[in-house]
Amino acid sequence: MKKAVLALLLIAIVGALAACRNNETGMAEWRDGETFTLVVAATPRPHAEILEYIRPHLLADGVDIDIRVLTEFHVFNPSLADGDLCATFFQHQPFLSSFPRASELHMLGLVHVEPIGAYSLTIDDIADLPQGATIAFPDDPANHGRALMLLQQYGLLTLDPAAGILATYTSDITYNPLNLRFHAAGAALLPRILEDVDMAIINTNHVLANYDLLGKHPMHDSVIRESAYENPYANGLTVRAEDKDHPALHVLLRHLQSQRVYDFIWRYFDGAVVPVFQ
């Protein structure tokens, strides 16, 4: 299934690569008087919505964006590292650092944080979580550990301090007083399996994108939730390391970190997404 998704992604970006690559020397040169097109992959909410919002303003500065909307986290970084994308807008630094080829990529700048939360169809208060409850959470290493740290923050388990942000439920839980059971799954699948578990820890972008399915808002319906402040999981614009000085990418970052976007995030996402650049 993952190979099929990746194949579809590669097919989708054919025809747009010229803006991202100039043979093996990085992104093409931006010539005076030309509009430079950046192929940027993003998740549907909030990332693609933010990109769509700034697109007219980018055009005024000579930059267009070809937005490729994806939901599976694992396909972004390989395509960026291979030069099939100009940039991605979806990830935090811990996720980037867990990518085997992370040294080939560069976090150009941070834009916002989406505090992760836990959701349930059966309880409204974490104190009501039953003995032996099954909890689902993302299976990628960075968000897997993030979910366990959230449970630890609320006293539901204790982790080995040496494990850090890449803690796993199979090796690093030292105390589990409720005998919780765990189920790791692809982040995009978690909204659809919530009905099969007692609680699921779901990335905010997937909660927002699946509001029609879940009927839940991160600010009002999460059972527990991270703080937005001093949060290491801020999302940013990621590029290939060899392209980090390309002027078109810096135009994009400038717009993403503008007062216009700051106001848009607060107004449009009702606190579920919090800007980090001011």
Which residues contact residue 165 at a Cβ distance below 8 angstroms, ignoring those fewer than 6 apart? 94, 142, 145, 146, 149, 232
Under 8 Å between Cβ of 145 and 95? no
262 has pLDDT over 70: yes
Least confident range of 3-12, 205-214, 241-250, 251-260: 3-12
- SS percent in the chain: helix, strand, coil, step 5: 45, 20, 35
Q: Across the chain, what does the average pLDDT equal?
A: 91
> CB atoms < 10 A from the CB of 19, how many?
19
9 has pLDDT over 50: no
Q: Which two tokens stand for residue 78?
A: 């390989």
**pLDDT for position 19:** 54
pLDDT band for position 138 (50/70/90)?
very high
Q: Domains, the chain, ranges and CATH?
A: 2-114+232-275 (3.40.190.10), 117-225 (3.40.190.10)
Q: Which two tokens stand for residue 120?
A: 């349930």
CA 210/CA 233 separation, integer angstroms: 21
The predicted-structure confidence for 103-122, as pLDDT tens digits, reads as follows: 999 999 999 999 999 999 99
- Closest among 263, 249, 255, 248 to 57, alpha carbons compared: 255
pLDDT band for position 23 (50/70/90)?
very low
**pLDDT for position 278:** 81
Under 8 Å between Cβ of 102 and 108? no
CA 257/CA 268 separation, integer angstroms: 16
The predicted-structure confidence for 154-174, as pLDDT tens digits, reads as follows: 999 999 999 988 899 999 999
Which residues contact residue 195 at a Cβ distance below 8 angstroms, ignoring those fewer than 6 apart? 121
247 has pLDDT over 70: yes
In SS3 terms, 129-169 reads as: CCCCCEEEEECCHHHHHHHHHHHHHCCCCEECHHHHHHCCC
% of the chain exceeding 70 in pLDDT = 91
pLDDT band for position 22 (50/70/90)?
low
pLDDT band for position 85 (50/70/90)?
very high
